[in-house]
Amino acid sequence: AQSVSQHNHHVILSEAASLELGCNYSYGGTVNLFWYVQYPGQHLQLLLKYFSGDPLVKGIKGFEAEFIKSKFSFNLRKPSVQWSDTAEYFCAVIPGYSSASKIIFGSGTRLSIRP
Amino acid sequence: SQTIHQWPATLVQPVGSPLSLECTVEGTSNPNLYWYRQAAGRGLQLLFYSVGIGQISSEVPQNLSASRPQDRQFILSSKKLLLSDSGFYLCAWSRGQGAGGNTIYFGEGSWLTVV
């Protein structure tokens, strides 16, 4: 069965540090890829998505992610984090040409930023 | 622009009582609608999805049911709540067809505590 792995369950960084959150998936064909963010007490919001084209995707709030097909990865990055980036981050994958109902979410990475 | 609302935001119900969580989407027609449950450290679990009025697909057999009485209304119900039904429930939508049809947008979520 397809799966999405976010190996880091909790990441703690200081402000201005660089961020990279890992995401790996287990499907060998075409994929649609997503990163969602959930700030404390809020709902899930879409950060960025990749359907096709440039594998380096830029999202909101200075985040970007790079799709590396050979590594089955879609890591999330930000060059300099802020305290307001404290949140939980979810990677998600839709395998093949499936509908959105087939989306698979990772278990999430909790990011804590020290002021 | 499209918006999604679900209510109530928080709910405390006794074991054995009924449940009704409601969700509505505005600004689009014939959306795909979803109910998810989010458990701490376990990501999101799809409970139900609907591609049209009266069309419900259940992903996980359980004590819950869903209905779609109108195009942009999705209801999560239970006749008799169990303690294990406690959790955070998220309504979501995606476009029915066409570009962007695979992007899911989430509502604010509903915290259910069964006591």
Question: Mean pLDDT in chain A?
Answer: 93
Residue with tokens 């509903």: B110
pLDDT band at B56 (very low <50, low <70, confident <90, very high): very high
* Contact: A99, B104; criterion CB under 8 Å: no
CA-based radius of gyration for chain B: 14
A8: contact with B, CB 8 A cutoff: no
* Contact: A105, B108; criterion CB under 8 Å: no
So what's the pLDDT on residue A86? Answer: 97
Q: Assess contact for A71 and A3: CB atoms under 8 A.
A: no
* Contact: A108, B41; criterion CB under 8 Å: yes
Q: Looking at residues A2-26, what average pLDDT do you find?
A: 95
pLDDT in tens, B5-35: 999 999 999 999 999 999 999 999 899 999 9
So what's the pLDDT on residue B97? Answer: 62
* Contact: A107, B108; criterion CB under 8 Å: no
* Contact: B43, A108; criterion CB under 8 Å: yes
Q: Which of A33-47, A90-104, B11-25, B93-107 has the lowest mean pLDDT?
A: B93-107
Render B35-93 in DSSP notation, one character per residue: EEEE-TTS-EEEEEEEEETTEEEESS-SS-EEEEEETTEEEEEESS--GGG-EEEEEEE
A39: contact with B, CB 8 A cutoff: no
**Is the pLDDT confidence value at A95 over 80?**
yes
So what's the pLDDT on residue B24? Answer: 97
**Is the pLDDT confidence value at B41 over 70?**
no
Nearest chain B residue to A109 by CA: give it: B41
Work out the percent of chain B whose per-residue pLDDT is above 90: 76
pLDDT band at B112 (very low <50, low <70, confident <90, very high): very high
A23: contact with B, CB 8 A cutoff: no
pLDDT in tens, A33-61: 999 999 988 889 999 999 989 999 999 99
pLDDT band at B100 (very low <50, low <70, confident <90, very high): low
Residue numbers of A between 70 and 109 with CB closer than 8 Å to B: 90, 92, 94, 99-101, 103, 105-108
